[in-house]
């Protein structure tokens, strides 16, 4: 069945999906002031992943140890999940049924369920509260993740419904999906924020767990279809801060000279603390680089002929 074929004007509002955040007043996810909706689920395993809470579709129980006051109320409410060993709060997430009783009982707000089911109608109502900011700044709504294409029917319904409100819609994607997903949402997406994580195929597999062949095929197909595209290039010192990668980025920019341009996104360290809160395997931390080094990377891509957007 074609994506979105069974989604009618009558049932579009009721279509549900899994999200982990709605971030208001976002200024780094496309033009103007935006609201970013983060969908759960991602097929990639990037070494530098900035949103580890978006990798799995399932909900997570998050625990911020620094906030915990060791009051023990959570263990009284849910002893299967929470216990205290020598004054240390131990969380057994495998036993968690995600009912949230411990979260409600935590006066220190050290506990949180990350991820929720939400309908297209609910999300549209939330993002429409900020419409005056979109109109005043040429902004809009960005759908990100995770990888939004992991929920194709929900993604289709969401962007179609938001676009119906005459709001600028951007979609951030790794491009690692069946092209039919991107093709289906194309009429409702004003700007694709398309990730370019690594131009060398083998290194792309090493850094993300997948080859970049499909990603580049989808990029070229989108471009041929007339999509407005901005390449977003996360750069990490010691991994992809290499001359051949800078040349590769510039080559894509020159090959598809109608691209809106290239954004250079230096690595930041927020992900490690997120992984700790979720009880996920901690990633390697890479060095957060100063602005002047990021500027040198930008200059390199520009030197090789890439058209760089400086945000």
Quote the pLDDT of residue 281. 67
Residue 200 CA, distance from chain mean position? 22
> Residues 278-301: pLDDT tens digits?
877 666 678 888 888 889 999 999
Domain that residue 119 falls in: 12-56+115-309
The answer to whether residue 304 is domain-embedded is yes
The answer to whether residue 168 is domain-embedded is yes
Residues 220 and 258 in one domain: yes
The answer to whether residue 148 is domain-embedded is yes
Quote the pLDDT of residue 269. 72
Nearest partner of 170 among 24, 17, 32, judged by Cα: 32
> Residues 166-177: pLDDT tens digits?
999 999 999 999
The answer to whether residue 137 is domain-embedded is yes
The answer to whether residue 3 is domain-embedded is no
Share of the chain above pLDDT 70, in %: 97
The CATH number given to whatever domain includes residue 213 is 3.20.20.70
Residues 93 and 183 in one domain: no
Residues 255 and 284 in one domain: yes
Planar angle of CA 228, 231, 232, nearest 5 degrees: 135
Q: Of the candidates 111, 142, 177, which is a domain's last residue?
A: 111
Residues 229 and 92 in one domain: no
Residues 226 and 165 in one domain: yes
The CATH number given to whatever domain includes residue 80 is 3.30.70.20
pTM above 0.85, yes or no: yes
Residues 165 and 257 in one domain: yes
Q: Assess contact for 43 and 176: CB atoms under 8 A.
A: yes
The answer to whether residue 162 is domain-embedded is yes
Would you place residue 256 in the very low, low, confident or very high pLDDT band (cuts 50, 70, 90)?
very high
Residues 159 and 23 in one domain: yes
> Residues 6-25: pLDDT tens digits?
999 889 999 999 999 999 99
> Residues 190-238: pLDDT tens digits?
999 999 999 999 999 999 999 999 999 999 999 999 999 999 999 999 9
Quote the pLDDT of residue 272. 64
The answer to whether residue 177 is domain-embedded is yes
Which of 46-55, 157-166, 279-288 has the highest average model confidence (pLDDT)?
A: 157-166
The answer to whether residue 7 is domain-embedded is no
Residues 38 and 66 in one domain: no
Looking at the 3D structure of the chain, how many domains does it have? 2
């Amino acid at each position: 069945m074609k994506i979105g074929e069974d989604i009618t004007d009558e049932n579009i509002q009721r279509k549900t999906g899994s999200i982990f955040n709605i971030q208001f007043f976002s200024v780094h996810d496309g033009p103007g002031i935006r609201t970013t909706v983060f969908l759960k689920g991602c097929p990639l395993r990037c070494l530098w992943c900035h949103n580890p809470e978006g990798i799995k579709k399932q909900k997570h129980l998050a625990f911020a140890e620094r906030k915990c006051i060791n009051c023990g109320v959570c263990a009284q409410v849910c002893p299967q999940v929470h216990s205290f060993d020598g004054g240390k709060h131990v969380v057994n997430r495998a036993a968690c049924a995600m009912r949230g009783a411990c979260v409600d009982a935590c006066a220190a707000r050290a506990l949180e369920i990350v991820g929720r089911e939400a309908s297209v109608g609910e999300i549209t109502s939330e993002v429409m509260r900020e419409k005056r900011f979109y109109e005043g700044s040429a902004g809009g709504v960005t759908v990100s993740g995770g990888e939004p294409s992991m929920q194709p029917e929900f993604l289709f319904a969401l962007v179609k419904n938001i676009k119906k409100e005459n709001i600028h819609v951007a979609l951030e994607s790794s491009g690692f999906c069946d092209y039919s997903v991107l093709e289906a949402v194309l009429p409702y997406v004003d700007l694709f924020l398309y990730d370019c994580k690594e131009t060398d195929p083998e290194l792309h597999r090493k850094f993300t767990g997948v080859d970049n062949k499909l990603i580049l095929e989808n990029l070229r197909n989108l471009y041929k279809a007339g999509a407005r595209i901005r390449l977003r290039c996360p750069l990490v010192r010691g991994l992809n801060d290499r001359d051949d990668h800078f040349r590769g980025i510039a080559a894509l920019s020159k090959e598809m000279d109608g691209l809106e341009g290239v954004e250079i996104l230096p690595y930041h360290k927020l992900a490690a603390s997120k992984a700790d809160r979720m009880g996920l395997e901690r990633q390697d931390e890479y060095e957060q680089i100063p602005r002047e080094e990021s500027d040198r990377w930008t200059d390199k891509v520009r030197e090789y002929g890439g058209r760089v957007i400086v945000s």
